[in-house]
Structure 1
Amino acid sequence: MSGPTITELTTRARDIFQRVVEEYLENGLPVGSKTLAADGAINLSPASIRSVLAELESQGFLAAPHTSAGRMPTEAGLRIFVDGMMRVAEPSREEQAQIEARIAESGPVEQALQATSALLSELTGAAGMVMVPPREQRLSQFSLVSLGQGRALAVLVGEDGGVENRVLDIDPGDTGSLEAASNYITSRLTGRTLAEAAQAMRAEIKAGKSQLDAASSDLVERGLAVWSEDANARPVLIVRGASNLIDEAALDDIERVRSLLDDLEDKQSVASLLESAREADATRIFIGSENRLFGLSGSSVIASPYRDMEGRVVGVLGVIGPTRLNYARVVPMVDLTARSLSRSLSASSGKLIA
C-alpha cells in the first residue's frame, strides 16, 4: 500500500480512523462525519472531519461505498487496525466459566470437538470451525463382548488410554468365538497402528498361521472392517453455525454469502487454510483477500492451534465471518477456547482419534 503507515499519521487522523473502524465493526455500516461529530469523542467540526476522512481515503485506509454514504475501512485499513490499534476485550469471567464448563462436560473427544465448534459459533455470532488432522494412534487392546440378539460390542483401547466403542452385528452362533478373536487381535495390536495390525493379521490368516477357526477369523475381519470404515468416514473438519453468516447485512450481498457457503462446503480447502495456523505462536487473523479461499466472499478467518498433554499441536480451531467481525472480542475468545480445549485434552490424556 502506498502512502504513510498508520504511525506516520497525525494524532487527529489516527483518532478519527480508529473511531471509524470501531463504529463500523460494531454496526456494519459506513460512518459519516456527522456521526463522528455528534458522539462528542472528536472535538472537530463535521467539515474538518470530512477533510481528514478524505485524506484517509486517499491513503488507502478508508473507502466510500457510495458518494454520500460515509466511510468504511478497507482490508488494508482493517489489517493496520488489528495489528496496531485494536483494544482487546478479554472475555468476562462468566464467559470464561462458560467456555471451561462446556468443553469439560462434553465427554469423549469427538463430542468435545463438536461442542467446541458450536460454542465458538454461539459466542462470536460467526461460524465455528475445528480441524482435526488425521492421526493413527498406537493401540494396546481390543475386546469383543456379546450384547445378545446377534450383536457384539467392539472395544478399542489406545496406548494413550483412549477408549472407543462400536456395535458389531454378528451371527448368534459366533458368540463362543468372541474371546478367541479378541485375544488374537490384542496379541498383535500392542504398539501398532490399526493399519499395521490389520496387515499382519490378514497375512497370517491367509497363510493359515493364525490357529483360528473360520468363525473367529470372520469376526477378526469384520471387527477390523468396522474400525477402518469408521475412521475413513470421519470428517477432519467440523463446522457449526454457518446459518449465522446469513444476517440482515448479508442479505444485501447474497452473492457474497453464496460464495462463502460454497467455500465452506470444500472442507479440504478450509482444512488447508486452518493448517497454516498450526505453527503460529498466537492466534492468526486472515482478513478478506489475504487468503485465497475466502477472498471472493470478503470474509475473515480467526484461527488458533490447540495442543495435547505433551504440548504438541494436534489441531486448529477458529471462526469465519464477514470482515466486519468484532475482532477485539473474537480474537481473545478464540485464543481462550483453544487454551481451554488444550487443557481438557491434557486432563483426558490427550485422547485424539484419527
Structure 2
Amino acid sequence: MIKTQTKPERLIGPEGKPNYGYFNAAPNQLGIDDFDYRNAMDKPASRLAKHFDFKQFQFVSLFTKRYVVGIAIADIRYLASAFCYVYDREQDTLVEQTWLRPLGFDHQMSGSSFHGTCAIAGKLSFDIHQGQWHVHARSRHLECDLTLRPLKASLPLALCTPTGYTGWTYTQKHNGLRLDGKLEVNGHQVDLSQAFAGYDFSAGFMRRETSWRWASISAHNQGKVIGLNLAAGVNETGACENVLWIDGERHLLGPAQFEFNRDDLSQAWRITSIDDAINLTFQPLNKRSEKLNLGFLKSNFRQFIGHFSGEICDNHGEKHQLHQIIGLTEDHYAKW
C-alpha cells in the first residue's frame, strides 16, 4: 500500500528544498521564490535561469454524452499558450481555437494549486478557491461557466518528485468530478446531468528536454463513477502519478507502461503494469495535434480521444472491467 503524508503548508520548505512524496491534500502554496535552485556544479542558479527554467501548465477535460472538451493554459516563460477544443462524438469532428503569447504577455498563472487564478487573453480562466476549480471559457465554438465538484470527500493526487539533476515537479490531478453550471456548444446548452470532468495542475523545474505518455478517464462504468490518471515520463523518481478513483475513493497505483505506434496513429495503444493491476487497450477516434519547431523551443503534441477497454485493479484487490469507455491519451515531446 502506498502511503501519503500530511500536506505541507508550502511545498518549498524553510531551507529552500522541496517536500517530496504523496500528500493527503494540496499544499496551500508552492513557494517558488524560496526554492534554492542550483546549477549542475552546485552553484546558485542565476535569477534568469530560475525564472526561465520554471514551467507550469493546467488542463481541464469535460465529458458529456455528446461532447469531449479540452481546455489548457501553459506557461514555459518564453511563451504562454492555450487551446480549447470541442470533439463531437456523434459527428466525429473536432474544432479548436488556440492562443499564443510571447514572453507571457496577456496572461497570468497561479502560484498555488489551492487558491489562485490562471487566465489568458480574457477568454480562458481557471479560478481555484480552497481547492475547488471554476472554469470559464469563451471561444468560437464554446462558452462555459462551470464548477468542478468532487464526489463525497474525494482526495486529489498531490505529488512532488525530484526531476533531473537539480529540479523537481509537482503535479495535482483529480478525475471523476461532477459539473455544475452552464456549458454551451455552438450556442446550444448542453445537459450536464451525466457529465464528468478532470483537472491537471503541474509545475516545477522540469527537464530542458522531456517527454511523456498519459491516459485519463472521467466516466460512468458499470454503475460506478471512475476516474483514472496514468502517466510515464515525468514524475518517476521514487514515485509515480498513477491513480484510480472509484466513486471518489482514491487508489494510488504503481508504474505503467505505454505501447503504441507513432508510425500508425490509428492503431490501438496498450497500457499495462508489471504487477498486472493495469491491463488496458485504447482505440483512438480523433486527436488534437500541434508541432512547433523553433530550434531552442520544440513541441510535438498529440492528444487522442478514444475508447478504453480491459481491466484495472484497485487497492482492495477488486477488478474493474472497462468496455469502450471514453477517455484521453497523450504523447508529447517538448524542448523548453
Query: If the length of structure 2 is used for normalisation, what is the TM-score?
Result: 0.22
Query: Which structure has the higher relative contact order (CA within 8 Å, separation 6+)?
Result: 1
Greater Rg over alpha carbons, structure: 1
Q: Which structure dedicates a bigger proportion of its chain to strand?
A: 2
Query: If the length of structure 1 is used for normalisation, what is the TM-score?
Result: 0.21
